[in-house]
């Protein structure tokens, strides 16, 4: 999946920084008001002690050096010690408090983002790359923390410090203070030029970071294909491009950020030089107080670091605000498919599923083209048809992963769009081709079928699914880890875990997508027996690949390009000279037991054992 930044809302509104910060503060920072207040007290102490350390220079010079007062040496040394102890302790307090708030903000944003991601419907995941999601959850939440922290530290500590020091400067020598203020306009202009350029690079950096993650993910998931088709070099090239771009952008951002230093150093040096010229002249020729001059110079030098940070703030802030925007973009992406306000709970009596003239397309081309069909309650209905005919789409629509473009889908007369999604899905159990197992124990994987199931119920479900014996042979039994994606189990074993999950769910409606991958004869028999048990008494809709299933089905619906073209039992359909018969004949020809595999030729399970 490729990311197209041109579509992102975020880049169309590059100037809403103030609103963005306001929202960030209201949503994320306001709940920490009391802790922020404590941090501010610490910062005020830091600022106060810094100003005091400049102030005391006057006495150091005048009392100690000019007046040679021995007693005052001890007094000023003691006071200096005190000032710096206060400064150290309050810096410590401020750092600890702010870090804790910062970490809480990251955690909070990550929770909100994941909540939103899990609310999204399938079409969202169809159009969103995983790299994009990971970047937003990992990096962009940190950006939110950085922005708030920068604001607090700068507004709190640096601005207070500068105010304190400028106060000292003005009291000591108002005329000389004017020189220091002279450098402000060129500093502001220089910084805003840098800001614009940083913003541009920050966006590109984000895009390339998502490409790194996407490439990594595609390589890991598709490693077999990557190796089999010798795509390593291709993937490396993709990765290299993205990595090189991130490197390039990071360097650019770093050098633009660093450029605030020479800018401020030059301007600062200029101001200090002016002060020395004027102040020195006043002391030497006009016999002014040297202590006041030193206090002034000290205040100016001390004000210089926070002023530099203030200049960098704007650049860093904008760099991080790009991340904050991307985070909010995800949070604000409201899912399209939600319950109606008056959604009822689905009540299943028999479990009849009815499609009435349903049309649906994923994008341009139609997947269902006016499909009308019924799955009788308590019976097994097989869906067959060439691949791409729309069978999986039927499943997705029953589960309401997508909204049909037109037409009705109902269960026992209740439109699936009118009932709550949760109650709909609670009545459906699904067993798919590629059973996905989560990286937790086998027991927990089965327990996903029904929350709150007891160990005894889980074990019974596993027995019914012919899974108990192989689970007991695993080291750790039910507590054995399934491995990421279920990688530690064979295909047949994974299927039986999925069947156990569905057994436990005990839902009246069963959607079954038979495995196309080859299972050995023993596994096949066990899986088949478990499925037969599972299907008993439930409305079962099965995407059938095995002739055995098709023959046993109460009804067979043949789909072709999103429509129902034939319908009946195996015998009645075979007697017609139609699509179904051709599918069967094709299968017999190559000893293939899968009626729908007209396109894909794969090594397949044994022919139907009948």
Please give the residue ranges that form the binding site for ligand ADP (CB under 6 A): 126, 362-363, 367, 385, 387-393
Q: What is the CB neighbour count within 10 angstroms for residue 558?
A: 25
Identify the sign of the CA torsion 514, 519, 521, 524: negative
Minimum CB–partner distance for residue 515 and ligand ADP (Å): 14
Decide: 515 and 491 in contact? Cβ < 8 Å: yes
Nearer to ligand ADP, 377 or 390 (CB): 390
Nearer to ligand ADP, 240 or 406 (CB): 406
Identify the sign of the CA torsion 469, 470, 475, 481: negative
Nearer to ligand ADP, 140 or 381 (CB): 381
Please give the Cα distance from 186 to 18 (Å, whole number).
23
Q: What is the CB neighbour count within 10 angstroms for residue 188?
A: 11
Q: What is the largest CA-CA distance in the chain?
A: 121
Nearer to ligand ADP, 76 or 393 (CB): 393
Minimum CB–partner distance for residue 511 and ligand ADP (Å): 12
Give the H/E segment covering residue 83.
helix 70-119
Nearer to ligand ADP, 142 or 361 (CB): 361
Minimum CB–partner distance for residue 125 and ligand ADP (Å): 9
Minimum CB–partner distance for residue 487 and ligand ADP (Å): 24
107: tokens are: 């955690």
Please give the Cα distance from 24 to 298 (Å, whole number).
37
Minimum CB–partner distance for residue 159 and ligand ADP (Å): 53
Please give the Cα distance from 479 to 461 (Å, whole number).
16
DSSP-assigned states of every residue in 256-277 = HHHTHHHHHHHHHHHHHHHHHH
Nearer to ligand ADP, 13 or 126 (CB): 126
Nearer to ligand ADP, 433 or 569 (CB): 433
Please give the Cα distance from 32 to 62 (Å, whole number).
46
Residue 130 Cα distances to 120, 153, 190, angstroms: 14, 34, 38
Decide: 61 and 294 in contact? Cβ < 8 Å: yes
Classify strands 428-431 and 509-513 as parallel, antiparallel or unpaired: parallel
Task: Give the count of alpha carbons within 13 A of 578, CB side only.
Answer: 19
449: tokens are: 């079928």
Decide: 409 and 358 in contact? Cβ < 8 Å: yes
Minimum CB–partner distance for residue 387 and ligand ADP (Å): 4
Nearer to ligand ADP, 354 or 391 (CB): 391
Nearer to ligand ADP, 247 or 405 (CB): 405
Please give the Cα distance from 320 to 539 (Å, whole number).
53
Minimum CB–partner distance for residue 32 and ligand ADP (Å): 42
Nearer to ligand ADP, 120 or 392 (CB): 392
Please give the Cα distance from 136 to 124 (Å, whole number).
15
Kindly report the backbone phi and psi dihedral angles of residue 428, in degrees, each rounded to the nearest multiple of 5, phi listed first. -120, 135
Nearer to ligand ADP, 389 or 428 (CB): 389
Placement of tokens 């004000």 in the chain: 303
Minimum CB–partner distance for residue 402 and ligand ADP (Å): 9
Minimum CB–partner distance for residue 428 and ligand ADP (Å): 17
* SS3 at position 192: helix
Minimum CB–partner distance for residue 383 and ligand ADP (Å): 8
Nearer to ligand ADP, 287 or 599 (CB): 599
Minimum CB–partner distance for residue 336 and ligand ADP (Å): 15
Minimum CB–partner distance for residue 121 and ligand ADP (Å): 12
End-to-end CA distance of the chain: 44
Please give the Cα distance from 360 to 405 (Å, whole number).
5
Nearer to ligand ADP, 106 or 367 (CB): 367
488: tokens are: 């530690």
Nearer to ligand ADP, 133 or 389 (CB): 389
Minimum CB–partner distance for residue 415 and ligand ADP (Å): 21
Please give the Cα distance from 310 to 193 (Å, whole number).
15
Opening angle at CA 586, ends 580 and 588, nearest 5: 105
Please give the Cα distance from 456 to 608 (Å, whole number).
35
Minimum CB–partner distance for residue 568 and ligand ADP (Å): 19
Minimum CB–partner distance for residue 539 and ligand ADP (Å): 19
Nearer to ligand ADP, 442 or 511 (CB): 511
Residue 41 Cα distances to 29, 154, 303, 527, angstroms: 17, 14, 20, 68
Please give the Cα distance from 317 to 17 (Å, whole number).
9
Buried-state track 585-607, b at ≥16 Cβ within 10 A, e below 16: ebbeeeebbbbbbbeeeeebbee
């Amino acid at each position: 999946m490729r990311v197209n930044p041109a579509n992102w809302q975020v880049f169309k509104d590059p100037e809403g920084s103030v609103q963005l910060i306001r929202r960030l503060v209201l949503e994320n920072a306001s709940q920490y008001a009391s802790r922020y207040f404590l941090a501010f007290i610490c910062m005020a102490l830091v600022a106060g002690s810094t100003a005091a350390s400049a102030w005391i220079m006057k006495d150091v010079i005048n009392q100690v050096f000019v007046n040679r007062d021995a007693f005052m040496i001890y007094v000023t040394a003691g006071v200096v010690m005190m000032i710096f102890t206060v400064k150290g302790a309050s810096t410590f307090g401020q750092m600890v408090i702010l870090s804790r708030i910062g970490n809480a903000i990251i955690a909070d944003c990550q929770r909100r983002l994941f909540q939103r991601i899990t609310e999204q419907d399938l079409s969202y995941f169809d159009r969103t790359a995983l790299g994009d999601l990971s970047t937003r959850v990992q990096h962009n939440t940190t950006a939110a923390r950085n922005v708030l922290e920068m604001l607090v530290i700068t507004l709190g500590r640096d601005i207070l410090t500068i105010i304190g020091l400028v106060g000292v400067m003005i009291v000591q020598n108002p005329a000389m203070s004017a020189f220091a203020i002279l450098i402000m306009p060129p500093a502001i202009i220089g910084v805003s030029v840098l800001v614009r350029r940083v913003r541009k690079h920050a966006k590109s950096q984000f895009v390339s970071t998502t490409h790194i993650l996407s490439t990594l993910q595609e390589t890991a998931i598709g490693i077999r294909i990557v190796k089999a088709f010798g795509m390593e070099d291709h993937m490396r090239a993709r990765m290299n491009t993205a990595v090189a771009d991130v490197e390039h952008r990071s360097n650019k951002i770093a050098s633009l950020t660093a450029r605030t230093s020479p800018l401020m150093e030059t301007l600062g040096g200029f101001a200090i030089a002016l002060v020395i010229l004027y102040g020195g002249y006043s002391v030497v020729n006009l016999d002014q107080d040297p202590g006041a001059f030193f206090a002034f110079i000290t205040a100016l030098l001390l004000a210089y670091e926070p002023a530099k940070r203030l200049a960098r703030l704007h650049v860093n802030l904008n760099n991080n605000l790009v991340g904050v925007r991307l985070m909010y973009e995800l949070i604000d992406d409201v899912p399209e498919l939600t319950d109606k306000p008056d959604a009822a709970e689905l009540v299943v009596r028999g479990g009849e599923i009815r499609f009435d003239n349903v049309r649906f397309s994923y994008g341009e081309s139609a997947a269902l083209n006016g499909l009308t069909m019924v799955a009788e309650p308590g019976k097994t209905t097989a869906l067959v048809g060439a691949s791409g005919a729309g069978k999986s789409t039927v499943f997705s629509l029953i589960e309401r992963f997508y909204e049909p473009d037109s037409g009705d889908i109902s269960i026992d007369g209740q439109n699936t769009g009118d009932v709550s999604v949760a109650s709909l899905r609670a009545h459906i159990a699904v067993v798919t081709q590629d059973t996905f197992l989560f990286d937790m124990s086998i027991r927990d994987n089965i327990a996903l079928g029904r929350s709150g199931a007891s160990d005894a119920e889980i074990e019974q479900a596993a027995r019914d699914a012919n899974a108990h014996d192989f689970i007991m042979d695993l080291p750790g039994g039910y507590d054995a880890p399934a491995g990421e994606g279920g990688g530690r189990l064979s295909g047949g074993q994974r299927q039986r875990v999925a069947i156990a999950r569905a057994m436990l769910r005990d839902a009246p409606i069963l959607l079954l997508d038979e495995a196309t991958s080859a299972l050995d004869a023993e596994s096949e028999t066990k899986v088949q027996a478990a499925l037969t048990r599972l299907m008993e008494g439930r409305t079962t809709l099965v995407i059938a690949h095995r002739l055995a299933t098709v023959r046993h089905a109460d009804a067979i619906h043949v789909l072709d390009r999103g429509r129902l073209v034939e319908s009946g039992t195996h015998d009645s359909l075979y007697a017609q000279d139609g699509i179904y018969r051709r599918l069967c004949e094709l299968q017999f020809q190559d000893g293939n037991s899968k009626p729908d595999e007209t396109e894909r030729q794969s090594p397949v399970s044994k022919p139907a054992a009948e």
